[in-house]
Structure 1
Amino acid sequence: MEKSKGLRVILFPLPLQGCINPMIQLAKILHSRGFSITVIHTRFNAPKASSHPHFTFIEIPDGLSETEERTIHTKLLITKLNRNCESPFRDCLTKLLEPLDSETGDEKQRISCLIDDSGWMFTQPLAQSLKLPRLFLSVFTVSFYRSQFVLPKLQREGYLQLQDSEQDDLVEEFPPLRKKDILRILDVETEILDPFLDKVLKMTKASSGLIFMSCEELDQDSLSQAREEFEIPIFAIGPSHSHFPASSSSLSTPDETCIPWLDKQEDKSVVYVSFGSLVTIRESELMEVVWGLRNSDQPFLLVVRAGSVRGTEWVETIPEEVIERINEKGKIVKWAPQQDVLKHGAIGGFMTHNGWSSTVESVCEAVPMICLPFRWDQMLNARFVSDVWMVGINLEGRVERKEIEVAIRRLMLETEGEDIRERIQLLKEKVGRSFEQNGSANQSLQNLIDHISSF
């Protein structure tokens, strides 16, 4: 604690929900260890400063139009943000590093380092030019982060032309993915893959450290390999929400009626369904999900984010007679307090897109999963759930009512589900031990504190 007093850390999250949450969580952790926190953020998706009165928030312009803010193309959005934010961020950071306050003439608190998201492409050379140590936070699992750099090679090797008979084969260069998973990853927005990943790799190796919201118990082999390959300090400090609740950093307002509704349901009976803050689906896919849930005859809590169904505002296209059938067993909301939902005794399963945060939140609450991954790292996370940890059922992108109904029945009603519940309870306990005094996550966090204090 003593070494961190008098030190300030600058954090710069990428303005996406799945990136803001872990960055604000990290800010809370560092603040609890004595660091002062300044968060530089964009106007777009600005975090709620009022929820974090002990932090200093500084907004910079991002130059996005209303149309660009509403785009569903994440890579395009990130590209525009990188182009538009470089100059304002440089000006802001340079001013913060000046030894005296320009208005009062008072000496400023010393800035120890910059911590930003791996999606920012300009921060490493800028930090080097300002002689400021820069660490970055990855929102991916260690396995995906270190293995993603092989994707251009796999693309050149013709994975997009795979025969059906080959698609179930394991990918030796990217375990535990199967070739059909690589096919889905490479099938979208990969024309800039080579230069993008080349730059990410160079920035990784030039940084002062890499932080993961994971732990040895979830990804031990990949952590060892990443330390050898990148040759920089790596800190796996454990799932972020295990330190502090994340609800105060949500960009959306959760529907608090979820909890009273869950209170009325039987223990371990409800299927919770949420596809996160970025996934968009077609109207026809929503109907398949709805009918799969309803036909399973299990109670369900379904999150349909406003704007997540392409071409609609919310669920207004669902026929009234279908809504009536839904209301017999289920509840639809625009957003849910996910951690509170997963902790609730009525939840028996989680149908998820397998973003990393959702995946580890489910593990930490011992809620077995039905995996419906859509993009990028979600395919790998789903394989860990179904094939490595064996704590869920992978639908492999099959958004079909019968497949969904059968998966729910397998998980909630059959012996297979009982075995899965036993395994995820053991995994929860294993991860929990990493936060104990001599646990891997606790030790890694202390190493991170010492590392930042040494600059």
Structure 2
Amino acid sequence: MEEHVSRRRWPLVVLTSSPFHGHMTPTLQLATALHAKGFPIAIAHSNLNPPNPSNHPSDFTFLPLSDNNLSTIEKYASFTDFISALNQNCKASFKEHLTRLIMSQGNKSIVVIFDNVMHFARIVAVDMNIPAIVFRSTSAAYFPAFLARLQIRQQGRFLEEDFAMQEIVPNYHPLRYKDLPFSTSPVEEWKQLVSNFSQQAHPSAIIWNTIKFLEHESLTQIHNHLQVPVFAIGPLHKIKPSSYVSSHQVDTSCITWLDKQPPKSVVYISFGSLATMDAKVLTEMAWGLAKSNQRFLWALRPGLVCGLEWLELLPEGFVGETRERGLIVKWAPQKDVLAHFAVGGFWSHCGWNSCLESISSGVVMICQPFSVDQGVNARYMSYVWKIGLELEQVEREEIRRMIKRVMVDEEGEEMRVRVNGMKEMVKEAVGNSGSSQESLEGLVNFILSR
């Protein structure tokens, strides 16, 4: 970074923040990192799950997008219907904000960094001759997996009809057909996904919330495919920690409970802010957990089972049987929980933020993927990096065995050694002269050159 460059002349960086917690959190972390480098920051966001300005630097500008009273995702027929409505509704007001900013900025330029879900921002920016950089909060391995899925659909083939789901996808080792994103999506929904993808093509650069040592091969594939700069700046929660972002009220009392537990004795369970399941699955999970006789902290989100609120989600007798060794909360401060000495395993949906937080804390995972990139992440955690086990059969006895393997058996201890080694590599990557810091400096220079 050139010390003599006047901060007043630095471009304003406008980041779009999606309403999904797993996307919003790293976007705001990236904004904080760039702000620390000297960039003025504006955050464009929908009115659904908006960020709280009081949690961020006072000179951040927040740009609410008129989204026509966008409803929660549950109100739409599918995920893709929601994404389409989000992009259609927010586009006009985003253009209005950029127009006003151009007029008020004088000779200062603007650069847009858009979440890949908010692809309307790229269209508007390109139309206004403003540089646009895409930010992806998934694993890098998700991108070639999506391309494989796209290729299969372009061949007119269907995963569950034309392939053995446990077989490896040719040229995409180690992924199996079952690991590919949107593997069970209806044809019309997939067509909409492809349309959305086409609107994201050919960015000027890509920012990825990942680490070079972790996903070097996938990052190389992406660079070779798109022929644009790729900046691996992760894990962002370690690059520049920022205030906790959540639409749920965090229960911090669980930290006091963890303080009283033995080291590496607690299984932490959380499935993120979007996953849903039916009552039968939850029942098998609960009794498998009970049968394991292990201590646990369960972040049991209200609405995890549609139509039910909280503890009534659980089978009768479970709370009483596990009261002495378990704690159930609605939402936990996940990064603090994973960093706690008492936590020895993380039973997760394998969202990418959760994977990065688990690796950074040296915690072994039990992987139970639900949708989108989670199957890819689970495959890498369990098969490639060997720091987790994938739960492929949600049945109470299998769950009991899985928890025992992670928390008690020698197999779990071997995984702990590996993940602790990766934890140290993460520290190196985000430290001075580490690969992630170098990528951040590369991004700073790229933005200044626009």
State the TM-score, normalized to the length of structure 1. 0.92
Residue 150 of structure 2 aligns with which residue? 152
List per-residue Cα deviations over 1:2-61 (Å, max 9, x = no partner). 447222211111111011001000000001101111111111110111111331112122
Q: Are 1:256 and 2:252 matched, yes or no?
A: yes
Partner of 2:44: 40
SS at match of 1:434: helix
> Is 1:213 the counterpart of 2:222 in the alignment?
no
Contact 2:345–2:407 (8 Å) recurs in 1: yes
| CA distance 1:349–1:406, shift in 2 (3 Å) | same
The Cα of 1:192 is off from its aligned counterpart by 3.6
Identity of aligned residues (%): 37
Residue 349 of structure 1, CA deviation: 0.2
Letter in 2 for 1:54: D
Of 85, 88, 92, the residue aligned with 2:93 is 88
Moved more, 377-386 or 301-310: 301-310
SS at match of 1:249: coil
Residue 228 of structure 2 corresponds to residue 232 of structure 1: yes
**AA of the residue aligned to 2:96:** D
Q: Which amino acid aligns with 1:415?
A: E
My pick for the range that moved more, 3-12 or 52-61, is 3-12
Query: 1:448 aligns to what SS in structure 2?
Result: helix
Q: Secondary structure of 1:403's partner?
A: helix
Contact 1:117–1:137 (CA<8 Å) still a contact in 2? yes
Select between 152-161 and 217-226 the one with higher mean Cα deviation: 152-161
Q: 1:189 to 1:335 in 2, by over 3 A?
A: farther
Displacement of 1:280 after TM fit?
A: 0.7
Q: Residues of 2 paired with 1:69 and 1:322: CA distance?
A: 28
Equivalent residues in 2 for 1:41-440, closer than 5 Å: 41-52=45-56, 53-64=58-69, 66=71, 73-98=78-103, 100=104, 108=106, 110-155=108-153, 156-162=156-162, 166-182=164-180, 185-194=182-191, 196-197=193-194, 199-201=196-198, 203-205=200-202, 207-318=203-314, 321-396=317-392, 398-440=393-435
Which whole-Å deviations, capped at 9, do the CAs of 1:138-187 have from their partners, x for residues lacking one?
Answer: 01111112331221332433421256xx33321124332112334x7321
Q: Which moved more, 1:83-92 or 1:72-81?
A: 72-81
* Greater shift in the superposed pair: 316-325 or 65-74: 65-74
Counterpart Cα distance in 2 of 1:279 and 1:312: 14
Q: CA deviation at 1:70?
A: 5.1
Q: Deviations over 1:174-221 (max 9, x none)?
A: 332112334x7321245242453355256331x221100111111001
Aligned twin of 1:103: none
Matches of 1:119 and 1:273 in 2, distance apart? 27
The DSSP-based 3-state class of the residue aligned with 1:203 is: coil
Q: CA RMSD in A?
A: 2.0
SS of structure 2 residue aligned to 1:185: coil
SS at match of 1:328: coil
Distance apart, 1:122 and its partner CA? 2.1
Aligned with residue 5 of structure 1, among 4, 7, 16 = 7
Amino acid at match of 2:397: K
**Aligned-pair distance for 1:250?**
2.1
SS at match of 1:84: helix
What is the match of residue 453 of structure 1? 448
The alignment partner of 2:304 has SS state of: coil
Give the residue type in structure 2 aligned to 1:298.
Answer: Q
Aligned-partner Cα distance in 2 for 1:180–1:150: 12
8 Å CA contact retained: 2:80, 2:193: no
CA contact (8 A) 2:343 2:363 kept: yes
* Whole-Å separation in 2 of the counterparts to 1:78 and 1:158: 23
- Which runs of no fewer than 5 residues in structure 1 stay unpaired? 101-106
Partner of 1:332, secondary structure, is strand
Aligned length: 443
* Offset from partner CA, 1:283-323 (integer Å, 9 cap, x none): 22222111111110000011111212112122224355322
Q: Compute the displacement of 1:450 (Å).
A: 0.5
Superposed CA deviations along residues 318-364 of structure 1, whole A, max 9, x for unmatched, are 35532211312211111100000000000000001000110011001
CA contact (8 A) 1:44 1:69 kept: no
Distance (whole Å) between structure 1 residues aligned to residue 436 and residue 275 of structure 2: 30
For 1:70 and 1:332, locate their aligned partners in 2 and report how far apart those are by CA, in whole Å.
28
Question: After alignment, is 343-352 or 59-68 more displaced?
Answer: 59-68
Give the TM-score normalised by the residue count of structure 2: 0.93
Q: Distance in 2 between matches of 1:300 and 1:340?
A: 15
Segments of structure 2 that go 5 or more residues without pairing to the other structure are none
Distance 1:67 1:23 in 2: 20
SS of residue in 2 equivalent to 1:374: coil
The answer to whether the Cα contact below 8 Å between 1:296 and 1:408 also exists between their aligned partners in 2 is yes
Measured after TM superposition, the shift of residue 69 of structure 1 is: 6.4
1:444 aligns to what SS in structure 2?
Answer: helix
The CA distance in 1 between the partners of 2:349 and 2:368, in whole Å, is 5
Task: Give the conservation status (yes or no) of the 8 Å contact 1:142–1:212.
Answer: yes
